[in-house]
Amino acid sequence: DQQVKQNSPSLSVQEGRISILNCDYTNSMFDYFLWYKKYPAEGPTFLISISSIKDKNEDGRFTVFLNKSAKHLSLHIVPSQPGDSAVYFCAAQSQGGSEKLVFGKGTKLTVNP
Amino acid sequence: NAGVTQTPKFQVLKTGQSMTLQCAQDMNHNSMYWYRQDPGMGLRLIYYSASEGTTDKGEVPNGYNVSRLNKREFSLRLESAAPSQTSVYFCASRISGSYEQYFGPGTRLTVT
């Protein structure tokens, strides 16, 4: 049973445009969400996160939106740059002191010059 | 400050061989994790250690054992490798009170 779903395996956008990566979750106990970015042959690196008490968090070109009622979050990258081409993983953690992050399967973003 | 380091970077094993993947972090983090990444499967948790001396199973623990040697080091052992264990293995660590996990560069393991 997949608790964190990234339904788009890939996304292609033009440089300078907006990239929107989506993530859905099923576990209502999740209270913190993270996005990781992964380049080939490297480990994932933390990008941005959001707590369930917020609906938006912004860091430079990256903004994460959380819609708790829909159990949906999205990562917006504006403007997209070729260096943003990577696999993006959505991850979630539940309240209650759980040590574990649950990851989605990832979305491969390609930003074309 | 090297962060999370993993050795080896690459390894090829024959079915039935054993090996240990090493992981170390120099950030004084309490929690450490082992994941595997397979094409189209995302990152799946194998084992984790919330603190020195404790380990717990994750989503896919079968065929693996772990040792939290000290606060810095967390090793993953394959006792009898199988082709299904061909994967990229990532170690991660986390400080208490934070949700962010910091990942190592990975070990690419092939079992023939």
Which of B6, B109, B81, B92 lies closest to B44, judged by CA?
B92
pLDDT digits (tens, 9 = 90+) for A79-107: 999 999 999 999 999 876 567 899 999 99
Query: Which pLDDT score is estimated for A98?
Result: 64
pLDDT digits (tens, 9 = 90+) for A28-60: 999 999 999 999 999 999 999 999 999 999 999
Shortest Cα distance from A59 to chain B (angstroms)? 16
* Average pLDDT along chain B, 112 residues, taken 10 residues at a time: 92 97 95 94 93 92 95 96 97 90 97 96
A90 strand-pairing partners: A35
Chain B interface includes A101 (CB < 8 A): yes
| Nearest-angstrom CA–CA distance, B4 and A84 | 23
| Nearest-angstrom CA–CA distance, B14 and B78 | 12
CB contact under 8 A, B102 and A103: no
Query: Which structure tokens are listed for A57?
Result: 């968090």
CB contact under 8 A, A46 and B100: yes
Shortest Cα distance from A6 to chain B (angstroms)? 10
Q: Between chain A and chain B, how many beta carbons pairs sit less than 8 Å apart?
A: 49
Tell which B residues from 46 to 65 touch A, by Cβ distance under 8 Å.
48, 50, 56, 58
| Nearest-angstrom CA–CA distance, A89 and B4 | 19
Query: Which pLDDT score is estimated for B96?
Result: 84
Mean pLDDT of A66-85: 97
Query: Which pLDDT score is estimated for A96?
Result: 62
Query: Which structure tokens are listed for B63?
Result: 């065929």
Q: How many residues does chain B have?
A: 112
Residue whose entry in the numeric block shows the structure tokens 């943003």: A84
Q: Which residues of A touch B39 (CB under 8 A)?
A: none
Of A34, A89, A100, the CB nearest to B42: A89
Which of B55, B41, B37, B57 lies closest to B105, judged by CA?
B37
Query: Which pLDDT score is estimated for B98?
Result: 85
Going by their DSSP bridges, the two strands B64-68 and B87-94 should be labelled as unpaired
| Nearest-angstrom CA–CA distance, B2 and A100 | 24
